[in-house]
Amino acid sequence: MPRVTAPSLCQRKQVGDKIAMLTAYDFPSAKLMDESGVDVILVGDSCAMAVMGRPDTLSVTMEEMLHHTRIVAAAAHRALVVADMPFLSYQVSPEDALRNAGRFVAEAGAQAVKLEGPADKFGDAIRAILRAGIPVMGHIGLTPQSVHQFGGYKVQGRDEANRQRLIEEARGLEAAGCFAVVLECMPAPLAAEITALLTIPTIGIGAGPDCDGQVLVMHDMLGLGIHTKFCKQYADLAGVMRGAFEAYVHEVKAGSFPDAEHAYQ
Ligand code: KIV
């Protein structure tokens, strides 16, 4: 199977072929996703909340993100691996942004990076990264690194001014050279309008069915994370895992594990 690439995702939009993206932070999950036909694996800064037990994404560091990206990149042979640039890794200066994006590619094996926010703030950072040959995915709407500015995890673009702002931000990211843009938590009709306006693919999360692709946080869709209105739960892994742990504890305490089948004679 040929590797999914940033340019090939743009071609998908032209033929109406939807893009399936999920987050992963570990080897077995990334390997299963790759084998299951997931097109894009995002090593999201959501790992702070999904696997590190932190209250938000703001504290995750470059070193932590590099560690998880290296693991995921080793597992994915077909899917495009996108590394999420953590808080303060691209906001301070375009030079910093380029150096950190370059580390994801050179040291960890990512094929693209994602950063949150509009081009009027981060256009210089995006262009610096692109000049080095690294594809950039944009991300607008509810951008979790700005949670304190939003005053919580709230649906964006509900009033006319914010609706117009998000349309301009999406256009700005396309003009800056992003190969795709994540639209997070916005009304479905607004995401549909942005999708129709852009030539690059939109990847929705809580943005309705008309985006060119969808992304979910793996732990949430497997029932191991946060319940939200937009995240369909495809499995109850928490129930499966709890059942296995309880059965193990019971059998160890009862002396029925290990039995003859699981012991060397
Ligand atoms: O970090 C993340 O998982 C993300 C997705 C929600 C798009 O940015």
Query: Do residues 201 and 252 both lie within one domain?
Result: no
Examine the residue annotation and report whether 261 is marked as an active-site residue of this protein: no
pLDDT at 202: 98
Query: Do residues 12 and 66 both lie within one domain?
Result: yes
Pocket test for ligand 1, best of 80, 81, 84 (most atoms within 8 A of CB): 84
pLDDT at 121: 98
Is 205 touching ligand 1 by the criterion CB < 6 Å? yes
- d(C-alpha 251, C-alpha 263), whole Å: 15
Give SS3 for 248. helix
- With CA atoms as reference, report the closest residue to 102 among 117, 118, 85, 119: 85
CATH of the domain at 71: 3.20.20.60
Q: pLDDT tens, 43-70?
A: 999 999 999 999 999 999 999 999 999 9
Query: Do residues 162 and 195 both lie within one domain?
Result: yes
DSSP 106: H
Residues in the chain: 265
Query: Do residues 84 and 100 both lie within one domain?
Result: yes
Minimal-distance CA residue to ligand 1 atom 4: 44
In a domain, 1, yes or no: no
pLDDT at 226: 87
Query: Do residues 200 and 257 both lie within one domain?
Result: no
Query: Do residues 152 and 66 both lie within one domain?
Result: yes
- d(C-alpha 197, C-alpha 181), whole Å: 12
What's the domain range around 199? Answer: 6-234
Ligand 1 mean position, distance from CA 74 (Å): 20
Query: Do residues 178 and 244 both lie within one domain?
Result: no
pLDDT < 50 regions, the chain: none
Ligand 1 mean position, distance from CA 184 (Å): 9
Query: Do residues 112 and 27 both lie within one domain?
Result: yes
Query: Which residues of the chain form beta strands (DSSP E)?
Result: 19-23, 40-43, 80-84, 112-114, 136-141, 180-184, 202-205, 213-216
Is 84 touching ligand 1 by the criterion CB < 6 Å? yes
Q: How many CB atoms lie within 10 A of CB 50?
A: 21
Global pTM? 0.98
Query: Do residues 22 and 153 both lie within one domain?
Result: yes
Query: Do residues 126 and 229 both lie within one domain?
Result: yes
Is 202 touching ligand 1 by the criterion CB < 6 Å? no
Instruction: Say how many domains are in the chain.
Output: 2
Query: Do residues 78 and 168 both lie within one domain?
Result: yes
